[in-house]
Amino acid sequence: MTTRRQLANAVRALAMDAVEKAKSGHPGMPMGMADIAEVLWNDFHSHNPANPHWFNRDRFLLSNGHGSMLQYALLHLSGYDLPMSELERFRQLHSKTPGHPEAHETVGVETTTGPLGQGIANGVGFALAEKVLAERYNRPGFEVVDHHTWVFCGDGCLMEGISQEAISLAGTWKLGKLTLIYDDNNISIDGEVPGWFTDDTAARFEACGWHVIRDVDGHDAEKIKAAIAAAKAETGKPSLVMCKTIIGFGSPNKEGTEACHGAPLGKDEIAAARDMLDWRYAPFEIPAEIYAGWDAKQAGAKREAAWNALFADYARANPELAAELQRRLAAKLPENWAAESQAYVEKMQAEGPDVASRKASQMALNAFGPLLPELIGGSADLAGSNLTIWKGSVSVTETSPAANYIHYGVREFGMTAIGTGLALHGGFIPYDATFLVFSDYARNAVRMSALIPAHSIHVYTHDSIGLGEDGPTHQPVEHLATLRYIPNNRVWRPCDAVESAASWKAAIERKDGPSCLVFSRQTLKHQQRNAQQVADIARGAYVLSDPADTKFKAILIATGSEVELAMEAMRTLAQQGVPVRVVSMPCTESFDAQPLEYREGVLPGWCRARVAVEAAITDFWRKYVGLDGEVIGMTTFGASAPAEQLFDYFGITVTNVVDAVKRVAG
């Protein structure tokens, strides 16, 4: 009969062999956590390899993503569509087994991990999603939302500050279906961790409201099983299972040391490890009895069939709720969305309010929120400034089927990564919010949301030196550019209430990546547009103003609060006999994605006389104005003073724009 240790050794062997063939990778963690993974996946983890997207599956996340071969081995052995040939191509170009797990690249991988600690925060997002959906849709006798989130992590994950942000919130939210399993092996890349990691980890988690199970022998299957069972039985708190393990378990000369952390073991050591583990098979060879011991396809099919039957009964008893849940899980917007959302954009154009774009954002939320039960969001302790609470907001700390608002506290990084987890779980369109300058704290999570990609919306207010008296520590300068430089990220900086509504609409409708919505503190003047101009906002840039009776001599490009300034400059230039075109460019990425014909229609190549205006770092705009053009903006940090004084001080003025246009136009 196949033993648990033999099943675990299959994981160890595949990890050793794949890393050795690739000549790079991390064998130590998979070998150390193999026994834990075997117990979890064979005794607790509810999933169906034949349908990796079955909604009510448990979610498994590998926060210590460098140990990716552990996850690939688990997926392969349990029956997912990940053939051995892909394990043999570990870390190779276009393989389904990249160096770190990547969602949307490998079937069964729930989230992209690698930057340590973010998987923990993603897991908190997954667990929060399950909790909120259960509160909305479950009914007595119909627990149609009922699954667990399992997260593996290591020492490095817990050293990262994001781990504290995430675990604090998980405890506050009482996420009883979240279990974090800690690979407590005392080793990181630089060696034994007591030289730099002496935290009382158990006490830390307990202080955050977690259920903690200490000192579990991570190589004793029965003790692991008992610990995980105890964790699952605790439904009022998230659980931490602290497993003492030996990194590189089974490698006679390298186990327990950093030598097996991030490098192949070498052929001689692998041969010795095979002897030590009594693994008598060739590289990448798995005997039938081992496959049989791991195969989860039959059990998974039974689980899904039982749930399908339950859901069918639920749908008969609760047809409207069932239809709404199915629509949300399919990531389909309501049937009335397109018409209602467009009607609101047009309403803003007709009414023409002069408001700060952060206020316009809140107005859009009040219009769109009632249409979208899937919309969930929150702010990093700035709700009153970000204006992210709308009339239908209900805190997730309340037990309510309408829960949809998250008070994240001052945790920008954790907030953003938790939002990614909400998006990846399914059933939600999440938004998070802070001041634009503090996107720095969140940046790696924003990057990850674009890389995955996740349908997340990042809301940033107080978008420039227009913040005023709080000074340069709070005034973003380089932030718009750095966010725009993230591949697959779309940054919207609207100029008025109309563009604000259109940017929210675009972000909600975009499914293949995140959007950053950047709003002002100060009031912005409404701009006049015709119907075609309103429609063209969604294309990222459009002609806002052209001279009526003559050909323009120069093009002014602006975003946000500076569109009003550009329009004033246009009127001044017109009086001086210099006709100019004004282009509003709220989203450069959307504009760049348009067909050449459209882009040429907005920024024709024949007109090299171009001036861009934005109260942010100037260099970004060279891609549109070229070496012949000029940019009016920031080249230094800001200063503390009233906003109107700052625009004058830094030269972001009508006069300077007019002078720049005259220079480039000759």
> Three-state DSSP class for 114?
coil
Which long-range CB contacts under 8 A does 487-490 form with residues at least 24 apart? 487/450, 487/451, 488/450, 488/451, 488/453, 488/512, 488/513, 488/514, 489/446, 489/447, 489/449, 489/450, 489/513, 489/514, 489/515, 489/516, 489/589, 490/514, 490/515, 490/516, 490/587, 490/589, 490/590
**C-beta atoms surrounding 329 within 10 Å:** 15
| Alpha-carbon gap, residue 34 to 458, rounded angstroms | 37
What DSSP string describes 258-300? GGGTSS---HHHHHHHHHHHT--S-TT---HHHHHHH--HHHH
Q: Is 626 left (phi over 0), alpha (psi -120 to 50) or beta?
A: left
Question: Which amino acid is residue 175, in one-letter code?
Answer: L
Angle 197-202-206 from CA coordinates, rounded to 5° = 130
First to last CA, the chain: 88
Closest-CA residue to 501 (of 369, 348, 350, 384) = 348
Note whether 617 and 477 are within 8 A (CB). Answer: yes
Contact 11, 45 (CB under 8 A): no
| Catalytic residue (one of 130, 412, 614, 630) | 412
Q: How far is CA 35 from the centre of its chain?
A: 31
SS3 612: strand
Amino acid at 606: W
CB 133 within 8 A of CB 110: no
Work out the burial of residue 333: count CB atoms within 10 Å of its CB; fewer than 13 is exposed, 13-18 middle, 19 or more buried: middle
Q: Alpha-carbon distance 237 to 168, whole Å?
A: 12
Which amino acid belongs to residue 463?
A: D
DSSP conformation class of 181: E
Beta bridge partners of 459: 433, 517
Helix count and strand count (H, E) for the chain: 27, 20
Distance CA(42)–CA(440), nearest Å, equals 41
569 burial (CB, 10 Å; 0-12 / 13-18 / 19+) is: buried
Peptide bond before 30: cis, by omega within 30 degrees of 0? no
Catalytic residue list contains 597: no
- Would you name the residues annotated as active-site residues? 412
